[in-house]
A and B are shown apart, each in its own frame.
Chain A
Amino acid sequence: MPSLTIDGREVSVADGTMVIQAAETLGIFIPRYCYHPALSIAGNCRICLVEVERIPKLQIACNTPVSEGMVVHTKSAMAEDGRRAVLEFLLANHPLDCPVCDQSGECDLQDYYMNFGLYNPRFREHKVKKQKAVELGPHVMLDQERCILCSRCVRFTDEITKTGEFGIFNRGDRAELGLYPGDVLDNPYSANVVDICPVGALTEKDFRFKARVWYLSSAPTLCNGCSQGCNVDLHYVLDRPHLNDGARVARIKPRYNPDVNQWWLCDEGRYGFEWLDKERLTKVRGPSQRSTDPQTHGPTDSQTQTSWDQALQTISAALAGSDHEQGSPRIGVIASAQLTCEELFLIRQIFRDALGAQVTASVPEEPGSSDDFLIKADKNPNTLGATLLGLAGPDAPAAAQIVDAAIDGNLEALWVFGHDLVELFGEEKVRQLSEKVSLFVYSGTNENPTVPLAHWVLPSAAYVEKDGTFVNCHGRVQRIGRAFGPIGDSREDWRFLLELAGKLGLSFDGSGPEGIFRGLAEHVTAFEGLSYDTIGTQGVALRTESVGL
């Protein structure tokens, strides 16, 4: 553990640590373009120059290993002049098209110029012309003129995805970033290169010209795209409907978590957010008169708008009336591994334990694509949470059993959380079951073919509109964070479940997800001793034996 002094402050770090990292432990930020902790060291941008006593030349902090007694100055006149010089070189051929650049506002050229540059530009020659607005693939745009050739993206596709799409062709100031002519950048992690690009050379096609970044707000949450539970920041805009085509969610960026996704995110997760603003269920609907379709002579379910209070009142009365003393359960609940642990806990307590319902979150879904990096075949973010609560896995009934029971007339009430039963079991079965049961509640976030067949439709808040926890496939419990409130009349599942419980005369900690989690931690051993505070922003690994891993 050599100790060294950086800007007058002493620090001890592990052998082999580079000065740039050692400085970070002191909260001293040394600017960098080519350096990225996930990638091999290129040392080409030269912006991280620092002065090291007893070495005449400036050294690059990203490739200077610490040594005992080393004295580093990051803000000396010499170091600052070195950085000024490098910035001036980098900006010499830069097009300075910030007004039309999406990176503007989060650009390391702009930021470092303001923090470390502020020189009087001297470059008066013609700039080297290169290609602009090149579409590299489904997600990424390239502007060669803005590129500072730091090679982060090249190293990303060489070292992380090992797909090798990028190259820097030619040499000298003719060097340019690109793909092999005719190639497409479409590996499953392609958009990460946009995040690691320190300038506006690689930008997101999806986000192109949608909003200036300074209008965006950010909230930490998780990706719900699969059971890996990658940590993300949700970038959204609420008060400027003219931006971002009126949608709230503008983009998703990976949030660093060394134990889950490091710096990365797959494209599917990154761009799977359209449903948050599209075809949402925003109104509570209940049954009106049942009619017969004049064309098909079959029944159609027509629903009319109603209120939460009315709906919950009627539903709770129906649930309370269904008698389960006589042997087999009369209520079936198909819950979902898309729900939070808190919500699943409420479902378990209310339906399984108080009402004696058959409850499952085991739904026969086709496994999705997967790889040996982040992408998992299980596209639910909380399968393990559901399993720990006994709602999925070997002890839980299969969803098909419940559906069959309903069709066979063995159920009085069926509640489906978010699943499109039509897709899973076919329209015919769902129609039959809808006819058979006297109470068919659908709660969920978006329209789907099952929705019109339900008797009651309760609009749910999306996961970014609520708090709660998911347990990822590696047994890590992590918090999602509410970015903004539920759309329209929709409500968080935990909220209406608590209201329902109240109407059923059951009592829970009513303060919200955090309080529900306290109850959960008391009841379920895997969560014992945990709280929102201990989970924090990076999550906590559940004790593996309790998770059964």
Chain B
Amino acid sequence: MTPALDAKANEILLRYEQPKAAMLPLLWLVQENQGYVSAEAEAWVGRMLGVARSHVREAVSFYNMFHTKPVGRRELRVCTSLPCLLRGAGELMDRIRETLKIGPGETTPGGEVLLTEVECLCACEIAPMAQLDERYVGPLEGPSVDSIIRDSLTQPGRPESTPEPEPYLSTDGPVLSTHFKDPGGTWLDDYLTDDGYVAARKVLTSMTPQDVIDEVTSANLRGLGGAGFPAGRKWSFVPKETDKPKYLVVNADEGEPGTFKDRYILERDPHALLEGMLIAAFAIGSHKAYVYIRGEYFRSAKRLQRAIDEATGKGWLGQDIQGTGFDLDVVIHRGAGAYICGEETALLTSLEGGKGFPRLKPPFPAISGLFQCPTIVNNVETLACVPFILRNGAEHFARIGTERQGGTRLFCVCGHVVRPGVYEEPVSITLRELIEKAGGVRDGNRLKAVIPGGISAKILAADEIDVAMDFDSLKAAGTMAGSGGVIVMDETTSMVQALDSAARFFADESCGQCSPCREGTGWVHRILRRIIDGQGSLRDLDELLAIAGDMEGNTICVFADAAAWPVQSYITKFRDEFEEYIRSGRSTEQKETAECPA
């Protein structure tokens, strides 16, 4: 470990209130410098942080992105989660394995590339996709498969042949997508020209925190990370009479399979997020904000950092913002490959340098969160709505949506649609309309099922799609709006394989602290593997339902519930198909009768 690393580490430590919080950045630092985290590096990190080596190893082993041995010069992460699987990730993986002649977890004999099989990288709009080092590529079909394999064998830094993805993206707002046009991102000058930071200036110069909270409350802004909790209400929970510092934490750990919206905000309109953060920080009286970005979002983190630097340079962040006396520092904290860190309390434990273990509630973060201080965690998209609300008025925003949920959402439509992509639509849009916007079901096929809000949401059958996409309507329909990730499945989909894929995701991603979740997710997945292998029996279905029932509602966080819901909804709604599969030991091309919405 060199003195240069020591110096860099000491600089990183200054960003955090507690040394242990620098765990992930120091591990990243080591891995970037040495290619992997050696035992020597673990000891060094432990010393720098004053943490036992065992706890450094806990972190290294918990997060998927750290290597403990030297690996290939490059890393090719191939996503085989459900949305990619629906679009051919299985075949993609097979072709890569055959060509590179290695399996997942292995490095080519010449040391060129490490092949890694990963769960959802949240780029389902370009499925089937992969990530070569820091870069997202897809859809990988036809010639682009050859070029990604070629690229993965070339030296990093050399020109690459795989083209930049060009998925469909809303670009004309009204709320969130107005700055999405330029793939290179919208930067401060352009942002300012387009009424950027006008809302922040208004807030800082003419409003009280309570005014801001009231405005956001009457806009009916709901948390868009998945739970739909009213944002203004959440902010009002922060204790006003306290000597403790308060923190604003942005959840940019986008990880829910089928979701790919926050990345576009981070990469194409980062100042919208920063302005929203500035307003939220003012409302809750926070002067320090952290943005927790999932580890795979290298480019998002870089672009947001660029925006932070710009804003700081122009006095929109830092000390005495625009001469108003308000201070706000923003620190980017990168995750390292663990879906559960999207759960807000796991995110906080992870930020504090631990494994991403969700915490017992109460206390809720608003009372005791980061470093035991009052903390508000909001999703990127939620905060990106805030400047619009303060600029155009709560009423305008509220009017766009439904009675209890204002505004639009960036709906992520993927799977078997003609045009996967990000669609900004009022939350009152129906699922059927949304699928139509995406060009309808591909190849003129019939719709079979849709997951409306990320893989955790209960599945809807083809005849259940005339439902509005706001939180309350989807809840009434027995599922949830969740993260806005819409996964469309056509008649060619095997529900057994889809559930197996979902079950693998939950077994891979359970943090493992609660007995029902740790054991239940693995158990469910093993039963499904057995069924897939033709060794299932009919009683397995009832047992799966019973295990799911036993997992539900009995754990620290709702991950276990989320793992149970697909089991329950797929088996109940498609039981015949499951039984048929078990009887015949294989998948049948079962046709659904619903109309093709296209």
Contacts and interface: CB of A to CB of B under 8 A. Distances in A.
Interface of A: 41-47, 49, 57-58, 63, 82, 85-86, 88-90, 92-93, 122-123, 125-126, 128, 148-149, 151, 158, 163-175, 179-181, 183
Interface in B519-533: 519-523, 526-527, 530
B55 interface: yes
A89 B515 contact: yes
A437 B554 CA distance: 78
B53 interface: yes
Interface stretch (B57-65, B146-154, B573-581): B57-65
B54 A166 contact: yes
Contacts of B54: 164-167, 179-180, 183
Nearest to B522: A173
Contacts of B355: 168, 171
Nearest to A154: B54
Contacts of A122: 543, 546-547
Interface stretch (B86-94, B376-384, B464-472, B506-514): B506-514
A45 B514 CA distance: 6
B550 A88 contact: yes
Nearest to A150: B515
B555 A46 contact: yes
5 contacts: A86-B515, A86-B554, A171-B338, A171-B340, A172-B521
B515 A46 contact: yes
Contacts of B526: 125-126
A58 B62 CA distance: 29
B1 interface: no
A167 B522 contact: no
B556 interface: yes
Given A125-B527, A164-B55, A169-B57, A43 B556 contact: yes
Given A169-B57, A170-B62, 8 more contacts: A42-B513, A57-B554, A125-B526, A148-B515, A164-B55, A173-B507, A173-B512, A180-B54
Contacts of A41: 360
Contacts of B513: 42, 44, 149, 151, 175
B553 interface: yes
B502 to A, nearest CB: 15
A46 B520 CA distance: 13
A93 B530 CA distance: 17
B556 A92 contact: no
A89 B338 contact: no
A128 B510 CA distance: 15
Nearest to B540: A124
7 interchain residue pairs of minimum CB distance: A164-B52, A167-B54, A173-B522, A85-B550, A175-B512, A125-B526, A89-B519
A244 B515 CA distance: 36
Contacts of B39: 181
B549 to A, nearest CB: 8
Nearest to A33: B515
A90 B360 contact: no
Q: Which of B55, B340, B530, B554 has the most CB of A within 10 A?
A: B554
Interface string B36-66: 0001001000000001111101100110000
Contacts of B482: none
B360 A169 contact: no
Contacts of B42: 180
A166 B52 CA distance: 9
A85 B51 CA distance: 36
* B interface secondary structure, majority: helix
Contact of A89 (B58, B360, B520, B527): B520
B511 A172 contact: yes
A180 B58 CA distance: 9
A58 B556 CA distance: 11
Contacts of B97: none
B58 A172 contact: no
Contacts of A57: 553-554
B518 interface: yes
Given A122-B543, A126-B526, A169-B58, A174 B512 contact: yes
Given A46-B514, A148-B515, A172 B61 contact: no
B516 interface: yes
Contact of A175 (B518, B527, B554): B518
B510 A171 contact: yes
A149 B52 contact: no
Interface of B: 39, 42, 51-55, 57-58, 61-62, 338, 340, 355, 360, 507-516, 518-523, 526-527, 530, 543, 546-547, 550-551, 553-556
Contact of B516 (A89, A123, A167, A171): A89
Q: Which of A44, A58, A86, A164 has the most CB of B within 10 A?
A: A44
Given A85-B550, A93-B522, A171 B555 contact: no
Contact of A172 (B51, B510, B516, B556): B510
A148 B513 CA distance: 10
Contact of A169 (B61, B511, B514, B527): B61
B533 to A, nearest CB: 12
A335 B340 CA distance: 65
B62 A171 contact: yes
B62 A89 contact: no
Given A44-B515, A173-B522, A85 B554 contact: yes
Contact of B554 (A46, A123, A172): A46
A175 B57 CA distance: 12
A46 B516 contact: yes
B523 A123 contact: yes
B519 A90 contact: yes
A125 B340 CA distance: 26
B554 A168 contact: no
Q: Which of B39, B51, B522, B546 has the most CB of A within 10 A?
A: B522
B519 A167 contact: no
Contacts of A172: 507-512, 518, 521-522
A92 B519 contact: yes
Contacts of B553: 57-58
A171 B339 CA distance: 12
A171 B512 contact: yes
Contacts of B58: 167-169
Q: Which of A82, A92, A93 has the most CB of B within 10 A?
A: A92
A170 B512 contact: yes
Contacts of A180: 42, 52-54, 57
Contacts of B510: 171-173
A149 B518 contact: yes
Nearest to B53: A180
A180 B56 CA distance: 9
Nearest to B539: A122
Nearest to B359: A43
Nearest to A59: B554
B554 A171 contact: no
B270 to A, nearest CB: 31
Nearest to B543: A122
Contacts of A82: 554
Nearest to A43: B360
A165 B52 contact: yes
Contacts of B556: 43-44
A170 B54 CA distance: 12
A36 to B, nearest CB: 15
A170 B357 CA distance: 12
Q: Which of A42, A85, A89, A174 has the most CB of B within 10 A?
A: A89
A278 to B, nearest CB: 37
A26 to B, nearest CB: 24
Contacts of B512: 149, 168, 170-175
B197 to A, nearest CB: 41
Nearest to B62: A171
B40 to A, nearest CB: 12
B515 A167 contact: no
Contacts of A168: 58, 355, 512
B542 to A, nearest CB: 10
Contacts of A89: 515-516, 518-520, 523, 550-551
Nearest to B546: A122
A49 B518 contact: no
